[in-house]
Amino acid sequence: EVQLVESGGGLVRPGGSLRLSCAASGFSFSSYSMNWVRQAPGKGLERVSSITIAGTYIFYADSVQGRFTISRDNANNSLYLQMNSLRAEDTAMYYCVRENYYDSSGSLFDYWGQGTLVTVAS
């Protein structure tokens, strides 16, 4: 059974830092691109960052470019998101998501974690 379990969320003051982790199991982690997708309270989904299998291609949304860093440890089946210079608008549920490039017709997000809540407030 595929499982993605996030941790590391919490309350942090503006300007502070947090490191999110995602523990993956039940599949060959090193064979899939991985993503962080967030959802602000009452809002839609925003793809924050993604990383390919070997980490050779990394995507960041404009809203987090220069402040967030995604990384992965294939040996330990783990995904990370280092978040620095946090702002109130970063308050959201953060989901760890597996991205499946099934063929040339695109990709889909076939497994989602339960999410970890990040609250940025003074």
Partner 1 sequence: QPVLTQPPSVSGAPGQTVTISCTGSSSNIGADYDVHWYQQLPGTAPKLLISSNNNRPSGVPDRFSGSKSGTSASLAITGLQAEDEADYYCQSYDTSLSAVFGTGTKVTVL
List the one residue from 1, 41, 54, 62 that touches partner 1 (CB under 8 A): 62
CA distance 111 to 80: 17
Phi, psi of 13, deg, nearest 5: -80, 155
Q: Which of 1, 24, 10 is nearest to 94 (CA)?
A: 10
21: number of CA atoms within 13 Å, CB side?
7
For partner 1, the closer CB: 33 or 80: 33
CA distance 83 to 89: 13
For partner 1, the closer CB: 1 or 62: 62
- The residue range among 7-15, 43-51, 67-75, 84-92 that interacts with partner 1, by the rule CB under 8 A, is 43-51
For residues 39, 41, 43, 47, the Cα torsion angle rounded to the nearest 10 degrees is -10
List the one residue from 5, 28, 110, 117 that touches partner 1 (CB under 8 A): 110
- The residue range among 24-32, 39-47, 66-74, 83-91 that interacts with partner 1, by the rule CB under 8 A, is 39-47
List the one residue from 5, 107, 117, 121 that touches partner 1 (CB under 8 A): 107
Residues in contact with partner 1 by CB under 8 A are 35, 44-47, 50, 59, 61-63, 95, 99, 102, 105-110, 112-115
